[in-house]
Every structure is written in C-alpha cells, then in structure tokens.
Amino acid sequence: MKELKYILKPKSVVIVGASRTPGKVGHIILQNYINDGYSGNIYLVNKNEEEILGMRSYSRVTGIKAGSIDLAVIAVPAEAVPEVLEDCGKAGVKSAVVVSGGFAEIGKQELQDEIVKIAKKYKIAMIGPNCLGVMDPRSRVNTLFLPSYKLAKPEIGGISFVAQSGAVGSTVLDLMAGEGFGISKFISYGNAADIDEVDILEYLMEDEETKVIAMYIEGIKRGRDFIELGKKITKKKPVIILKAGRTAAGATAAHSHTAALAGSYEAHEAVFRQFGFTIANDISELLYYSKIFASEAAPVGSRIGIITNGGGAGVLTTDAIASSRHMSLGELSEKSKADLRKVMPPLVNITNPLDLAGDADDKRYRDALTSMASDPGIDMIIVIILFQTPGADSRLAAEVVAMKEKTSKPMVVLSIGSEYTEMHKMMMERSGLPVYDSPRAVALSLEALYSYYQYKNHSG
Amino acid sequence: MLWDYFKAKEILDKYGIRSIESRYVENADDAVKFSQSKPIVLKLISEKELHKSKAGLVKLELSNEKDIRRAYEELASKGKSLKPYKIIAQKMAEEGGIESIIGGRDDPQFGKLILIGLGGVYVEAFKDFALRVCPINEYDAGEMLEQLVSRNVITYKGESRKMLVKLLMSVSKLLVENPQIKELDLNPVILREKSYDVVDIRVLE
C-alpha cells in the first residue's frame, strides 16, 4: 500500500514554488497553510528568493536538512518538476503532491513517465500531477490552490471525498461545506500517475476518521485490482461513486448484441453494483447519498413511516416512496394507534402517513416520533416539517434532532422553503440529521441506504 | 472471428447448456429430410449480418415440403450477397415462452462480463438487461434477474427462476474457462416455465 499518511498527516511540509506574489499558485498554497493554522513545520523553496512573507526560503530542497520533510507540495512549471522531485528524493522527502499541469493531459506522456520513474526510485508516494491535491481539516493540510474566501470552509467530519477532476472536486467540496457536511479528507488526484483510485480507496478503507467515501471518477486504471478491493471495502463502509462518461461512444463497432448493449460505462456500473458501491447519477445524488450515509443509521427493513404537518407534502412523499424499488409504507401497530389516539387532537387521523395538521408543535411531533420510533412495523422515518406553519419553529427542529439521538432507525427530514426554512435545515444538518428539499431526494436516499445495507448484510 | 455454429453448440453441450437440434443443409432436399414432416426453421448464417431477423434471414414454422423448398431458395438467393454463408435447419422450439438474451464479452478493464436481458427483437428497443463480472455466484445471478424491469415476464415463478439462475452460472463458468471467447450471444434463449431452448448462438474469438 502506498503511504498516503505522509500526504494527509505530514509533520512537515515543503512548498516548492512558494511565491510572494498574490494570485500565484505558490502564494495561495502558502497563504492557505498559514490561514488554516497548520501546526507542523513549513519550509519554502523558491530558487529566486531568500525570504517570502517573512519566512526563510531555500533555493533548493536539498538545502533543507535531509530526512526532515514528510510532504513536498510542488507548484513549479512542468519542465522543472523532474529536477525538483530528484532533489526531494535526495533530501529524503517521503511524499509529494504535484499540482503542476502540463503532463499526460496535454500529451506529454514522456515527461509524466519521467517523474513517475523518479518517484519510484526514491520511494516517494506521489499524487498528481495536474491536481488540486489534498485537504484534511484535522491535520490542517491544504494543498488546494484556491483562494480560501472563494470556498466554504468544511467542518471536521466523517465524509471523505475523492475526485479525479479538480474542478468537479472543488465544486462539490464547496457544496458539501456549504450544506454543513463534515469532511474527513478531500483528495483530488489528477492524472493518477503514481497514486491512483485503488491506492486512495485502500487507505480510506482503513482510515478510522473516514465513515463514508464519496467519489467522482472518469476512469479506473486497474480494473481487476479495483474489483478485489471492491469485495472488501463496501463491507466496511459505504462508497458512493459518480462516474462520468456514460455517453462515450464505443471504440469499435460491435459484432454481437451483448457488446452493443454493454459498453465501457455499463461495465463500470456492473462492477459498482455487483460489489456494493452506491451509484450516483449526478452531483445532486452524490450529495444526497453522502448525507444519509454520514448519519450512520442502518435500516433493518424497508417499511417507511411518515410524519407531516402538511397533507399534500405527505401525499407527494407517499407517491415517491411507492414508486421506489424496494420501499413501502408501514402499517402502524395497534399499540401505536392506541397511544397516539390518547395524545393527538381529534382532527388528527391516526394512520400512516401521519398528518399532524398545520398547527402541530414540537410536543405533537415528539409524541408522533416516539410512537414511530418504537413501532415494530416501521423501519425508517421521514419527518416532514413545513416551517411556514405556525407551530414549526426552532424548538421543533431541536426536538427532531433530539429524537434522532434516541432512535437507531434511520430518520430524515423533508423541509421545503426559503430563508426561515434554510436556517433550520442548517441547524439540523450540522447536528447530523439529513435534511432534503424534495420527496424524490428523500426516496432516492432511503432506497440507496436500504440497498447498501441489504448488500452488506448479505455479503457479511 | 466468428466460430462455426456447431463448434459453438458443442461447447454449450459441454457445459450442459441445452440448444435446439440443428444441422447444416446443403440443399432443399436436405432440409425436407431434416423436417420429417415436423415444423422447422431455416436460417442463413453469415458474418456479414448480425441482425438475421430484420434482414429476413430467418424463416419460421416451415411445416410442409413446399414451404421448406420455397424458403430455402429464397435464403440461397439472399445469400449471394452475403458470401460466405451457410444455411442451418433447426427444429421449432415448443410453443410459447419468452425470448431472452444471455451473453458475454471480454472487457479490457474488468475481464469477462455476463449479461441477461429481454431478448429477441426486443433487445435493442428496450435495452432491458443486467450485467455482472464473471464469475458470478447464485446471489449475483438472482440479483441480475431482480434488476430487470421485465423480471416478472422473464421469470414466471420459483421454478423458472431456479432454472435461469443455474443457466447463468453455467454460462459464467463457460466464459471464465474459455478465455479465447471475446463475445458470446445466446439470442434468443426461449424461456418457458420449466424448460428453455437456446435457439441462436454466436461466438466470437
């Protein structure tokens, strides 16, 4: 296994190509290290400078005491990378993130092969080239050359997001941070010249800080190794994959119906399905599924209970559940019905979906949730809260968060609305309660959760 | 390279995969003799044409001598532009049943893949299929069937499901143990409640 720990948890970092000029990649990276409060040693290398932002700058990596650097972040023009990497090798640097572009992605395969050779010679674990690199909010490592004010700052959490593409990577990272997701690692690995998706997944599989893995990929370099890994990783933690290239044309005209139907994308999808990966069809689904898996609740069945303070929203959600593959509405037990009848006002019809009416407050929700949580006929709970109604306020949001702590059943919230709703959504999200804004998103997410645990339970 | 039909049939036999009784016919007399007054099918096989039915190269339910001779002559005349070709005579499959496709291909990334879907003329219209990497186990085979939109059409109930799971596992074994096979089409495979017939075979090396 490649040593990603030196990349994600380095005790010391050298930024090669560090710059005093604002806007330059080498400046942004340095600025981010300083802003994020990285606590390890930072060394700077720039062959034309002796001092940058008040810090000493070395002219070459070899000028720094050998063996003292875990990670080199390399942001110099492509042609200069081989020499820098050679220096890193001589100085005993253990790992490198090459953010520089200008390699295989523009046809310069030879230059890329050259740096791989150097990395292998000195046993440097290398990410890139042509990548954003990594971010780890715990170790405060951040090699992203994106100005920090342009990107929402992610909280510490259990989702690791891996993206081949830096652009999709930073976009999704921004969205995740904005929605209040807790991030464990962000890894953008670009051309995958040395460290590829299999290496990264192997690391994340064993990483205890990572509870859920979300991935955006364009291709897989080592198909059979990916399959072998797939047999193990999804038994340990959920992996959500968004794969681009659905519409790629087949390389050659097919000679059989089978080949005409099952192209490269279909083959990838088949592998994902067979080995328990969760397939996301777009960025929205990637976010939906990351969120529900991060809540770490495992369903034992597929019967849904719905609590709502709006009849129409309840019906729409019932429709979405009914059109899913595996889920259906559960039947309330006689005990639940009796309990609820005692505490609910007469206008509440005791059935599933349970419509608590427009004046429902936190107390009524608590009673409803208590019954659903202990009802043996209900496996997963959807709580619809329309915050536009008089009884729905912050007390209710807090009540639902508290209930989530008490039940082992998966529980999600559906809230549709603007400013006031958004504020409460954020409150609940940050407390680890997944909140969605459409019945379809809820149904897709619960279905994905259920399917994953079905696979996991089956394959042990 | 397309395998000879009977080389392909032989390998299916070896894995216990039942395909319909067939033989090459050199002329109309051969075909009439093969029929023995029972309905037969005549097909023209050529590497140049993948879509036999659409191209009018499959003549079904030929039950009397006159029909057999006329069909044979028609195929032979169409064959002139599809050389080299062969004409094959097959017994008709039992009445009823649903057409499915079972296939395989060698993927450069992941190795041998196995496919099942709604078959025959519906293959391309509905594209309802499930795909897995070989080898598959019983659970995978079951999940493949479960994935099909047409699952309730293709597998009636318990018994046909069991039969189909077994068939898929045999095809997976065949694909794994014969690495030279690049593509395989069993299409259609006619599925009935308790039995099936592989009616057409295409193996590419």
DSSP letters of A262-294? S-HHHHHHHHHHHTTPEEESSHHHHHHHHHHHH
B124-133's contacts with Cβ under 8 Å and 24+ in sequence apart are B124/A257, B124/A260, B124/A261, B126/B150, B127/A261, B129/A261, B129/A262, B129/B101, B130/A270, B131/A262, B131/A266, B131/A267, B131/A269, B131/A270, B132/A270, B132/A273, B132/A274, B133/A227, B133/A267, B133/A270, B133/A271, B133/A274
Nearest CA in chain B to A261: B127
Residue B175 structure tokens: 């694909």
What residues in B contact A264, CB-CB < 8 Å?
Answer: 107, 109
Same domain, A309 and A455: yes
Residue A141 structure tokens: 């490592």
| Its pTM surpasses 0.90 | yes
Peptide bond into B84 cis (omega under 30): yes
Distances, alpha carbon A155 to alpha carbons A176, A322, A430, in Å: 9, 36, 9
Beta carbons of A131 and A195 less than 8 angstroms apart = no
Q: Which strands sit side by side in the sheet containing A182-188, from one edge to the other? A: A141-142, A133-136, A182-188, A155-163, A212-217, A239-243, A278-280
Residue A220 lies in a domain: yes
Share of chain A above pLDDT 70, in %: 98
**Integer Cα distance of A42 and A33 in angstroms:** 8
Residue A327 confidence (pLDDT): 97
Distances, alpha carbon A204 to alpha carbons A137, A166, A236, A274, in Å: 15, 19, 10, 20
* Residue at a domain's end among A275, A294, A313: A294
Residue A139 lies in a domain: no
Residue A138 lies in a domain: no
**Integer Cα distance of A180 and A50 in angstroms:** 41
Burial class (CB in 10 A: 0-12, 13-18, 19+), A184: buried
In this structure, what CATH number is given to the domain that contains residue A2? 3.40.50.720
Same domain, A420 and A280: no
Residue A297 structure tokens: 């609740």
Beta bridge partners of B129: B117
Mean pLDDT across chain A: 94
Same domain, A85 and A37: yes
Nearest CA in chain A to B135: A274
- Interval A325-354: pLDDT, tens: 999 999 999 999 999 999 999 999 999 999
Q: Is A448 or A145 the better-scoring residue by pLDDT?
A: A448
Q: Domain residue spans in chain B?
A: 21-91, 98-204
DSSP state of A326: S
Chain B residues with at least one Cβ partner in A under 8 Å: 2, 50, 101, 103-105, 107-111, 113, 115, 117, 123-124, 127, 129-133, 136, 139-140, 143, 147, 183-185, 187, 202, 204
Return the C-alpha torsion angle B34, B36, B39, B42, nearest 10.
20
Residue A317 has pLDDT above 90, yes or no: yes
Same domain, A307 and A434: yes
Domain count, chain A: 3
Beta carbons of B104 and B173 less than 8 angstroms apart = no
For residue A421, the tally of other CB atoms under 10 A from its CB is 18
State the residue range of the domain holding A450: 298-459
**Integer Cα distance of B78 and B57 in angstroms:** 8
Question: B98-204 adopts what CATH topology?
Answer: D-amino Acid Aminotransferase; Chain A, domain 1 (3.30.470)
Phi-psi region of A37 (alpha: psi -120 to 50; beta: other; left: phi over 0): left
Residue A196 lies in a domain: yes
Q: Which residues of B71-106 are buried (b: 16+ CB within 10 A; e: fewer)?
A: bbeebeebbeebeebebbbbbbbeeebbbbbbbbbb
Sign of the alpha-carbon dihedral angle for B79, B85, B89, B94: negative
Residue A252 confidence (pLDDT): 52
Cβ contact B115–A224 (<8 Å): no
Same domain, A311 and A330: yes
Nearest CA in chain A to B1: A255
Residue A388 has pLDDT above 60, yes or no: yes
Q: Specify the amino acid at residue A294.
A: A
Q: Which strands sit side by side in the sheet containing A51-52, from one edge to the other? A: A51-52, A55-58, A41-45, A12-16, A71-74, A95-98, A125-127
Residue A254 confidence (pLDDT): 66
Question: Mean pLDDT over residues A156-170, rounded?
Answer: 94
Share of chain A above pLDDT 90, in %: 87
Same domain, A64 and A201: no
Tokens 């019932």, residue located: A318
- Mutate which of B114, B131, B134 to test chain A, going by most A C-beta atoms within 10 A? B131
What residues in A contact B101, CB-CB < 8 Å?
Answer: 257-258
Helix orientation angle between A439-459 and A311-322, rounded to the nearest 10 degrees: 40
Question: Mean pLDDT over residues A122-136, rounded?
Answer: 95
Domain B21-91 homologous superfamily, CATH? ATP-grasp fold, A domain (3.30.1490.20)
Distances, alpha carbon A188 to alpha carbons A32, A123, A150, A163, A217, in Å: 17, 21, 18, 5, 10
**Integer Cα distance of B18 and B21 in angstroms:** 9
CA-wise closest residue to B15 among B104, B117, B88 = B104
DSSP state of B42: E
Residue ranges for chain B with pLDDT beneath 70:
156
Phi, psi of A282 (to 5 degrees): -160, 180
Residue B178 structure tokens: 């014969």
Same domain, A310 and A413: yes
Beta bridge partners of B43: B58, B88
Q: Specify the amino acid at residue B87.
A: I
Residue A109 structure tokens: 């395969």
- CA of residue A254 relative to chain centroid, distance: 37
Same domain, A175 and A191: yes
Same domain, A125 and A10: yes
**Integer Cα distance of A386 and A413 in angstroms:** 10
Distances, alpha carbon A5 to alpha carbons A71, A209, A261, A296, B121, in Å: 10, 12, 42, 25, 55
Beta carbons of A103 and A114 less than 8 angstroms apart = no
Helix orientation angle between A283-294 and A439-459, rounded to the nearest 10 degrees: 60
Cβ contact B117–A261 (<8 Å): yes
**Integer Cα distance of A22 and A33 in angstroms:** 14
* Residue at a domain's end among A278, A294, A310: A294
Same domain, A156 and A283: yes
Residue A251 confidence (pLDDT): 46
pLDDT band at residue A43 under the 50/70/90 scheme: very high
- Interval A70-113: pLDDT, tens: 999 999 999 999 999 999 999 999 999 999 999 999 999 999 99
Beta carbons of A100 and A128 less than 8 angstroms apart = yes
Nearest CA in chain A to B127: A261
Residue A148 structure tokens: 């920090």
Residue A142 lies in a domain: no
Beta carbons of A17 and A75 less than 8 angstroms apart = yes
pLDDT band at residue A180 under the 50/70/90 scheme: confident
Sign of the alpha-carbon dihedral angle for A12, A15, A21, A24: negative
Residue A363 has pLDDT above 60, yes or no: yes
Residue A256 has pLDDT above 90, yes or no: no
pLDDT band at residue A396 under the 50/70/90 scheme: very high
Question: Mean pLDDT over residues A283-307, rounded?
Answer: 96
Distances, alpha carbon A145 to alpha carbons A26, A52, A197, A287, in Å: 8, 17, 21, 23
Partner residue opposite A255 with nearest CB, options B110, B130, B204: B204
Cβ contact B113–A274 (<8 Å): no
Beta carbons of B150 and B116 less than 8 angstroms apart = no
* Residue at a domain's end among A258, A274, A294: A294
Question: Mean pLDDT over residues A164-177, rounded?
Answer: 92
Cβ contact B127–A261 (<8 Å): yes
Same domain, A260 and A215: yes
Residue A149 has pLDDT above 90, yes or no: no
Same domain, A290 and A246: yes
- Mutate which of A255, A256, A457 to test chain B, going by most B C-beta atoms within 10 A? A256
